[in-house]
Amino acid sequence: MKKDLLSIDDLTSDEIYLILDTTEAMREIGQRPIKKVPTLRGKTIVNLFYEASTRTRTSFEIAEKRLSADTLNIAVATSSVLKGETLADTAMNIEAMAPDMIVLRHASSGAGHLLSRICRSRIINAGDGMHEHPTQALLDAFTIREHKKRIEGLKVTIVGDLLHSRVLRSNVKLLTKLGADVWVSGPPTLVPAGIERFGVRVSPAIDEAVAGADVIMMLRIQQERMQGAFIPSLREYFQTFGMTRARVARAKPDVIIMHPGPMNRGVEIASDVADGPYSVILEQVANGVSVRMAVLYLLAGGVDVD
């Protein structure tokens, strides 16, 4: 493993499979009466979150505590950032207190890369702007593999706000690396230019994109990142791209429906689909803790010699 996990590009397919296999072992710890192992005793991990997050921050914190690391959370609302400190200065100040790892969530793409250059601590990207969210893609891959026993050759259809989604980028990189057949669909205003160069098939017709799919992954309409009118209205968006039972019926009979959360019910996904039998959305959340334990454990070791 490299020093940091900033992007799926940092991982070889062997390392991805190692993380998924380690996740299996980590999940068992969460089923014990005492859900804790002493592995990261004495390691200090700082969770530095510049954006609102419930799932990811809680998930990392539970993972860190299950591995016995000392953790502390810095939320921007209560930090010196409000007094005008730059990200680099905040990072250097945290670094001066010698943590072993920093988990960073930031609204700017590439924030983790900046920290990686100035910090000796290992950096885990927990979402940087519209760039990547590698641990989300890893937990998605784990969830898919658990249901389908493989990733290679599956038709995975990703629908929604592709433009603003870091989850999309990490998932596309990971799934194509492992040989899945990835389709994306969304309104043309929300499809990033040149996305086919990642090796995905783009279809503006959702019915074609979901036909015969093994996995459907819905993405949230990220209104907070939209400056301008990308879609006519939320109601029209739901009519054209929302995941309804009728659309799910076009996929394979054993399709699984995924969503990285937070969900907008009635916008990208109908409530009866979100809560329906094909939905694995809460499993994704449960698997998130185990995947993050695996990543923390594997990153805490020595760096590769090369």
Partner 1 sequence: MDAVRIERSLARIAHEILERNRGLEALALVGIRTRGVPLARRLAHTIHEINQHEIPTGTLDITLYRDDLMRTAVGAQPVVRRTEIPFSIDDKRILLVDDVLYTGRTIRAALDALIEFGRPRAIQLIVLVDRGHRELPIKADYVGKNLPTSRSQSVQVHLTEIDGRDEVEILES
User: What residue ranges bind partner 1 (CB under 8 A)?
Assistant: 1, 18, 21-22, 24-26, 28-29, 32-34, 36-39, 43, 67, 294, 297-298, 300-305
d(C-alpha 85, C-alpha 124), whole Å? 21
Token duo for residue 273:
């689909």
What letter represents residue 26's amino acid? Answer: M
- CB nearer to partner 1: pick between 41 and 245: 41
CB of 37 to partner 1, least distance (A): 4
DSSP 172: H
Written as one string, the DSSP assignment of 70-101 is EEEEEEGGGSGGGGT--HHHHHHHHHHT--SE
Sheet holding 155-159, edge to edge: 201-202, 181-185, 155-159, 215-218, 256-258
d(C-alpha 294, C-alpha 11), whole Å? 14
- CB nearer to partner 1: pick between 57 and 66: 66
CB of 301 to partner 1, least distance (A): 3
- CB nearer to partner 1: pick between 17 and 198: 17
- CB nearer to partner 1: pick between 37 and 226: 37
The secondary element (H helix, E strand) that includes residue 75 is strand 70-75
Are the C-beta atoms of residues 5 and 291 closer than 8 Å to each other? no
CB of 143 to partner 1, least distance (A): 18
**Cβ contacts of residue 79 below 8 Å, gap of 6+?**
90
CB of 146 to partner 1, least distance (A): 14
CB of 269 to partner 1, least distance (A): 33
- CB nearer to partner 1: pick between 39 and 240: 39
- CB nearer to partner 1: pick between 38 and 188: 38
d(C-alpha 60, C-alpha 48), whole Å? 11
CB of 59 to partner 1, least distance (A): 19
HSE (side-chain half, CA atoms, 13 Å) at 270: 14
Are the C-beta atoms of residues 62 and 45 closer than 8 Å to each other? no
CB of 3 to partner 1, least distance (A): 10
**Cβ contacts of residue 253 below 8 Å, gap of 6+?**
none
- CB nearer to partner 1: pick between 145 and 164: 145
